[in-house]
Amino acid sequence: MNKINRLFNEKKNNILSIYFTAGFPKLNDTAKILQHLEESGVDLIEIGIPFSDPLADGPVIQHSSEIALTNGMNLKLLFEQIEAYRITNPHAQIPLILMGYLNPIIQFGIEKFCKKAKDCGISGIIIPDLPLQEYLDDYKRLFEKHDLKNILLITPQTSEERVKLIDQHSTSFIYMVSSSSTTGSKGVMSEEQLTYFNRIKNYSLNNPTLIGFGISNNQSYEQACAQSNGAIIGSAFINAIKETMDLKKDISAFIYSIKNSILV
């Protein structure tokens, strides 16, 4: 069974997924971050493929991509780093997802990309700029051949018909973008967002959902978990490690702060 499906079979609520950009803050930090995140009790990890024009990403992730590219990160090296992590952590059960844009994947070679992803233990792919119909026509067969789950996104503007179509063609979970803006820390959910989450919940979808964009602290994490199966955090995590002198300590402290309500 695909590790993403196993996760959602075993855990229905309060799933915490963390996104980080490969090659940031330092080129060879990927394996260390993966290990520290798993040790900290994260349920799912999204590894960002740095790209020069990440349209859906806010300034924090854009900046981390710029630094990662300047550091020398590329897809070939990323696969080598993930494979090395898997070799040194053969019993790691946490699902890994690659998140990136279509252009660098096509340049790498889509079939080669899928094979490499499968070989190094990737369970799913998120490609925000891959249209559903193009996926169904051109890539679905390849993704299924290599047991890679294609995670599709919905936004507050996605119609009920479209949401149900995406649900029909999903086989892991649906990424609920919390707002129509780019990624970034917001801190608290608006009434408009909560109305949107309730609307999606009332559709009684077949697939679980995770809410991303704007989750940055315990309060917004708990709000997201109340409206879905869990939350995805990216920009806030990247901010937490951008100037770290001790990855293990800062990652552990950040994950603890998200999972626990700290009274001041």
Which residues are catalytic, by number?
Answer: 46, 57
Residues 40, 28: Cα–Cα separation, whole Å: 20
Q: Are 47 and 78 in contact (CB under 8 A)?
A: yes
Residues 139, 127: Cα–Cα separation, whole Å: 12
Strand 174-177, strand 44-48: pairing: unpaired
- Centre a 10 Å sphere on the Cβ of residue 84 and count the other Cβ atoms it contains: 14
Helix ranges (DSSP H) in 160-246: 160-168, 191-201, 218-227, 235-241
Residue 160's region, left for phi above 0, alpha for psi from -120 to 50, else beta, is: alpha
Residues 91, 129: Cα–Cα separation, whole Å: 33
Residues 179, 161: Cα–Cα separation, whole Å: 19
Which of 97, 212, 92, 202 minimizes the C-alpha distance to 143? 97
> Which two tokens mark 181?
């803006």
Which of 252, 263, 262 minimizes the C-alpha distance to 18? 252
Q: Are 174 and 209 in contact (CB under 8 A)?
A: yes
